[in-house]
Chains A and B, each alone.
Chain A
């Protein structure tokens, strides 16, 4: 479920346009009224002037979220949005056309950020965002999924995990490790440093994999 938050004075029209996009792409979504400091997946802000962008500045920036701004055709506004790490800027005058033009880009972003890994067994059902998995470790017929939320142990092997997720974001760097490329901070000759300060060994047989990625 994608959580969408809209901040707009004329939200019904904007909401309708984005809803038709989500429905067309068969995406599960929920529209939530905008609240400061809340955690959502997509933030859509309608702005009239440069001062309105303060709202985005005050909002804590989350790497996992997407930020879209709808505003007038103004170069200053666009450059300010780039500084604020806004993902897409839509012109208010030609919003339906802009959404249509950026559909594939938006869909790619959504797939990259909000795809789930689903795990189900008696007593436990979980949907883990793939983008928030740091790495997956294999240990004695089990895999340990290390994510921003903690760890999860499952009886599976790494190949079966890779076949389930169908994602190009993950690479195997060792017979016991699969890493999410988004979380790699630095690559050294024999190990990888992750953004969460963990280091993982690179297997000799997998050096080619790392170079290619």
Chain B
């Protein structure tokens, strides 16, 4: 049994690419002058080889099974594209940056970070996992950004079933399970703290 948060969105990426390719084909078919045909061909190539891998891979991807918790984070589009091609041509499997043995995890502390969201700079919240291991090492990573709440809840429940203890001082997991808006919940907590 394994649960993944941030699965590659192949179908969504494929839909976008179809539209972009259709636009490229239109440019070629319009056949007004040679330059336009070249732009059409370039548009199709960019859509297939750059846009498709860039959109299909998520910013963060983590996976949990009986033995390990694996995590990877793609800072930018270039990293997503590189990971995609590495997956297709080299490793033939998703490459995770970090692999933690569940047997070594003491507890996971849940925290959050305020971040500006694209494109208007409105404030949003990222959920952070601080994984404390028995030997005293600490691994912190972003576990949830905007989407994937359903998969996130499933993965967290599975971790709990595996005997991993969570320290959730801000009751973030409860808010996510109850389908409450995380930003409302954390805004409320921030207001109470500032009083």
Which residues in A have some Cβ–Cβ distance to B below 8 Å?
1-3, 39, 41, 62, 64, 114, 116, 121-129, 131-132, 147-153
Contact = CB atoms under 8 A, between A and B. Distances in A.
Contact of B136 (A114, A126, A151, A152): A114
Contact of A149 (B73, B101, B140, B142): B101
B136 A153 contact: no
B99 A122 contact: no
Given A39-B106, A150-B98, A150-B104, A126 B60 contact: no
A39 B68 contact: no
Interface residues of B, number: 24
Contact of B139 (A1, A114, A126, A132): A126
Contacts of A148: 101, 104, 133, 135
B141 interface: yes
A67 to B, nearest CB: 15
Nearest to B138: A127
Judged by DSSP, the binding face of A is: strand
Contact of A124 (B71, B99, B133, B134): B71
B97 A149 contact: no
Contact of A151 (B99, B133, B138): B99
B98 to A, nearest CB: 5
Contacts, number: 75
A128 B99 contact: no
25 contacts: A1-B136, A3-B136, A39-B106, A41-B136, A64-B136, A121-B73, A122-B75, A123-B75, A124-B71, A124-B139, A124-B140, A124-B141, A126-B98, A127-B137, A129-B137, A131-B135, A132-B135, A132-B137, A148-B135, A149-B100, A150-B98, A150-B99, A150-B100, A152-B99, A153-B97
A149 B140 CA distance: 14
B154 to A, nearest CB: 21
B138 A123 contact: no
Nearest to B126: A123
A127 B133 CA distance: 10
Contacts of B97: 124, 152-153
Contacts of B134: 39, 62
Given A148-B104, A150-B101, A153-B98, A122 B137 contact: no
B46 to A, nearest CB: 25
B98 A124 contact: yes
B68 A150 contact: yes
Interface string B62-74: 0000001001010
A167 to B, nearest CB: 15
B137 A126 contact: yes
